[in-house]
Amino acid sequence: MNIERFDSKEDLYARAVAIIAEAKNNGSTMFGLATGGTMEPLYAKICKTDIDFSNCISFNLDEYVGLEANHEQSYAYYMHQHLFQEKPFQASYLPNGLAADPIEEAARYEALLQQHSLDFQLLGIGQNGHIGFNEPGTPFESLTHLVTLEESTRQANARFFSSIDEVPTQAFTMGIQSIMRAKCILLLAVGETKREVLERVLASDYTEEIPASVLSKHPNVIILTDLQVEENK
């Protein structure tokens, strides 16, 4: 893992935009995208650039179960509001939160991913080390699946809802193996709340109890952070 540290969030997000632009200029057309508060400043910066994704395809990491695409807290809505309405892709895929058969929907989405090899995957990191919604204990060989969200994850996302009771208890997520198939992975770890988990990732052995530790086995991972943490040697 190649870690780059920045004194300011502004510089960090500028670097992230430059990495994405470089990937696009070097021929990347299949992009795995992420959501959440960490990504909002990134997408805002991208929308101010001349990066053209009109010949690209996007796949989102995850989606809540039980929310329709136009629900204000669905990730489909998030992506439209923060990126797609300004920077449309040729095609954009997310799991269907209202699928009648969630297990079948997870399999359908995984099949799509296997038909389109991801050139570039964008990731955030949860305070418990999750990537996508792959919670601690998720097998590293997992494919896209239905997950029951940990209470800590629901609490972290509750700020986006009127109350914790409105936060869905399940979600679809790309599996860890699905994520690891991407040719290049960019992970953003921003803010003091991510210090402990980033230190655990960098110091950790390869363990399913810290899902993001799997990235140590990927040949092309860039981590951008505004935290001064030491990389394990």
Tell me whether residue 26 is one of the annotated catalytic residues.
no
- Write the CB contacts of 135 (distance below 8 Å, at least 6 apart in sequence): 128, 147, 149, 150, 153, 211
Asked whether the beta carbons of 41 and 131 are under 8 A apart, the reply is no
Tell me whether residue 130 is one of the annotated catalytic residues.
yes
Tell me whether residue 232 is one of the annotated catalytic residues.
no
Q: Which is catalytic among the residues 62, 63, 110, 226?
A: 62
CB atoms within 10 A of CB 19: 17
Q: Which is catalytic among the residues 105, 130, 157, 208?
A: 130
The Cα–Cα gap between 149 and 133 comes to: 7
Q: Look at residues 70, 96, 61 and name the one whose alpha carbon lies nearest to residue 187.
A: 61
CB atoms within 10 A of CB 175: 22
Q: Which is catalytic among the residues 60, 128, 134, 157?
A: 128
Tell me whether residue 52 is one of the annotated catalytic residues.
no
The Cα–Cα gap between 29 and 87 comes to: 14
CB atoms within 10 A of CB 67: 19
DSSP E strands, 11-141? 30-33, 57-60, 62-64, 91-93, 120-123
Catalytic residues: 62, 128, 130, 135
